[in-house]
Amino acid sequence: MTDHYAVFGNPVAHSQSPRIHALFARQSGQDMRYEAILAPLDGFEQSVRGFITAGGCGANVTVPFKEAAFRLATQLTTRAKAAGAVNTLIFAEDAIVGDNTDGAGLVRDMQTNLGFSIIGKRVLLLGAGGAARGVVLPLLHEEPGSLVIANRSAGKAMKLVDSFTDDAHGILSCSEFSTLAGQSFDLVINATSAGLANAELPLPDGIFAPGCLAYEMLYGRETAFMRRAALAGARVADGLGMLVEQAAEAFYVWRGVRPDTVPVLRELRGA
């Protein structure tokens, strides 16, 4: 019997997830169907419950429903609790389990696809929204030398740091963009949505250390952050690998099979 999965979002037509999961399913011989479902902005829960009643086995959740999915879940994984958001739902007999695979996807993209080790590195995380929150714990687990969070609204970065103090063993701190002057980093991750508005971040010169990896979470366009990093001599990556890797992690959670992401990423990049 074919198992049914879906991604819920609004808008959702642009989502690459149906294509990615179809490629994973074909590659691993899994009998499953994966569709995109446009949930009304005020009707996420109803949409998901309808899908469960119709026999759905699991779902991904994208903007703007990740916090609603967190509230809907009756059980949460440790990484979903840390992220405060859910991007993967598993429908069990007596539970709706909420998970978050975004952070694992980012770390796996860096390690596997980009060959970049985070251990001991000076890491700068730009942004303090949902995407930033979701990657803090997975980054800390990789034992960087330091992790600095900088955000336009400094209070939000401070709050984020406070909520991870127990896991951070003294290596986590926050900063304003302007007070980053004079510091340099081996890894700079842009988890702001500035690129969506073609906005430039007010970053001081010199933050990209020699050999730095500049990671833009956004994908599908070249952002001002990417241009700036490239000009400074940094190696630049976009978030397409993270997208594919978070999908692979969700696929693994649902099916117990880890897909080979390399050909899928190659196919998406070629398109």
> Would you please indicate which residues are annotated as catalytic (active-site) residues?
66
Based on the shown chain and the rule CB under 6 A, indicate whether residue 192 belongs to the binding site for ligand NDP: yes
Based on the shown chain and the rule CB under 6 A, indicate whether residue 97 belongs to the binding site for ligand NDP: no
Of 2, 74, 153, 165, which lies in the binding site for ligand NDP, with binding defined by CB under 6 A? 153
Based on the shown chain and the rule CB under 6 A, indicate whether residue 194 belongs to the binding site for ligand NDP: yes
Considering only 91-99, 197-205, 253-261, 263-271, which stretch makes contact with ligand NDP by CB under 6 A? 197-205
Of 188, 209, 217, 248, which lies in the binding site for ligand NDP, with binding defined by CB under 6 A? 217
Based on the shown chain and the rule CB under 6 A, indicate whether residue 129 belongs to the binding site for ligand NDP: yes
Based on the shown chain and the rule CB under 6 A, indicate whether residue 197 belongs to the binding site for ligand NDP: yes
Residue 151, CA distances (Å) to 126, 131, 167, 203 in order: 6, 12, 20, 11
Based on the shown chain and the rule CB under 6 A, indicate whether residue 104 belongs to the binding site for ligand NDP: no
| Nearest residue to the partner ligand NDP, using Cβ | 129
Residue (15 or 192) nearer to ligand NDP, CB: 192
Residues contributing to the annotated binding site for shikimate: 15-17, 62, 87, 102, 219, 246
Residue (10 or 52) nearer to ligand NDP, CB: 10
Starting at the edge strand that comes first in sequence, how are the strands of the sheet with 208-216 ordered? 172-175, 146-150, 122-126, 185-190, 208-216, 235-237
Residues in contact with 221: Cβ distance below 8 Å, sequence separation at least 6, in sequence order: 195
Of 239, 259, 264, 265, which lies in the binding site for ligand NDP, with binding defined by CB under 6 A? 239
Considering only 32-40, 51-59, 241-249, 260-268, which stretch makes contact with ligand NDP by CB under 6 A? 241-249
Residues contributing to the annotated binding site for NADP(+): 127-131, 217, 239
